[in-house]
Structure 1
Amino acid sequence: MTFPSNSEASGSIPASAPLILASSSSYRRAQLAQLGLKHTCQPADINETPLTGEPAEKLALRLAEGKARAIAKTTNAASLIIGCDQTASCGNTLLGKPLTEAVAIKQLSTCSGTTVTFNSALCVINNYSGEALLDNIVTRVQFRLLSEKDITTYIKKEQPLDCAGSFKCEGLGIALFDTIHSDDPSALIGLPLIALTRMLRQFGVDAIQQSQPL
């Protein structure tokens, strides 16, 4: 579902306008590079602390928009700014980036045999017209039952300490799952490309027509 800040996103943007990804994530940079669209990356420095009682979906949307708006304020040029954020939750428990192996072991032990919900939020701001689009893609991952050996071996091999939920689905982490349910298979990595290309088209940027050779 898309939530425009105005009733419709109608402001197209000059074809030469820069595309800015408000992220330092190497995973998201690699995803955007898949589209062959010329872009730059400019990390947004915002407070990512959840608000008291804030649901995971609202947190992801708030941070995605906050990152995009932070970068929009720093550039006067006509540009498209992409902000994104992802939350992972098991029941009512948010699963952040583990940062240490001990926390990663605890997270994957909690996920074992359960369904983990990922909210991959996206905000695209047209700095030319001032319009913004927001979207959130929900992905539900059913983890298989994991043994202690599965968990410790996986963490040692892939070191997923900078990933919410303690896994990398684009790598060996896919072997931790039974099923994945999502409208956008790219969303789980962190940047929902189907939603992104749809938003860009609404602002006059067609990924197929404007992509460059990889």
Structure 2
Amino acid sequence: MNPPALVLASTSPYRRVLLERLGLPFATAAPDVDERRHPDEPPERLVRRLAEAKARAVAVNHPEALIIGSDQVACLDDAILGKPGDQATAIAQLERASGRCVVFQTGLCVLDARRGQAHTLVEPFRVHFRTLTRARILGYLERERPYDCAGSFKSEGLGIALFERLEGDDPTALIGLPLIRLIPLLESSGLDPLGA
């Protein structure tokens, strides 16, 4: 039996580049999902729910595919730091994160649309920030402009200069798609990146 087509339920360029690392052919599709948080919804539940909702939304147009959904939030204390969208919000986020630990929760879903069977998980990753001066924050934002990134930085770029240390099992989770956790889910569905 031929393995199913692979579809990434995301238009994120960061997730696309990550998935390209595996060398498997795939398509991308934009999921039409309401991403608002439910009242009192814990971050872990939010990202798990949205990852699966994105995969199921794309399955409507790809009923024979294996679909990857993912969602991520950055958490500081009990607050979720979203994508800043502009410089003022990014400054506020980075000032708040200065000298502290931000926890990224990344939800992952692999949905076999043929069977309607979904496997979901949440991968945490901790970012310990250096103490950041306003001048350093402004210098960073001017150079990288990470306004479409949760937490206001790109760890795969100059954002690495903002950190004291990183803590987690899957460094790709921080960018938005935990490949180490994804690979066994793909293998169990007949897609092996190593072709073994």
Q: TM-score, normalised by structure 1?
A: 0.89
| Alpha-carbon distance in structure 1 between the residues aligned to 2:121 and 2:90 | 29
Q: Give ranges in structure 1 of 5+ residues lacking alignment.
A: 1-12
Match in the other structure for 1:115: 101
Q: Select between 48-57 and 109-118 the one with higher mean Cα deviation.
A: 48-57
Matched residue, 1:29: 16
Q: In structure 1, what is the Cα distance between the partners aligned to 2:56 and 2:144?
A: 33
C-alpha displacement at 1:204, in angstroms?
Answer: 1.6
Q: Select 2:113's aligned residue among 124, 127, 130.
A: 127
Measured on the aligned residues, the alpha-carbon RMSD in Å equals 1.1
1:81 is matched with 67
1:92 pairs with 2:78: yes
1:151 CA drift (Å): 0.4
Highest RCO, 1 vs 2 (Cα 8 Å, sep ≥ 6): 1
Partner of 1:205: 191
Q: Are 1:180 and 2:166 an aligned pair?
A: yes
| Cα distance, 1:75 vs structure 2 | 2.3
> Where do 5+ consecutive residues of structure 2 fail to align?
none
Report the number of matched residues.
196
Aligned to 2:6: 19
SS of corresponding position for 2:72: strand
1:66 matched to 2:53: yes
Give the whole-Å Cα distance in 2 for the aligned partners of 1:87 and 1:198: 23
Normalised to the residue count of structure 2, the TM-score between the two structures is 0.97
The alpha-carbon deviation at position 43 of structure 1 amounts to: 1.0
- 2:33 is the alignment partner of 1:46: yes
Q: Secondary structure at the match of 2:195?
A: helix
The answer to whether structure 1 residue 149 and structure 2 residue 135 are counterparts is yes
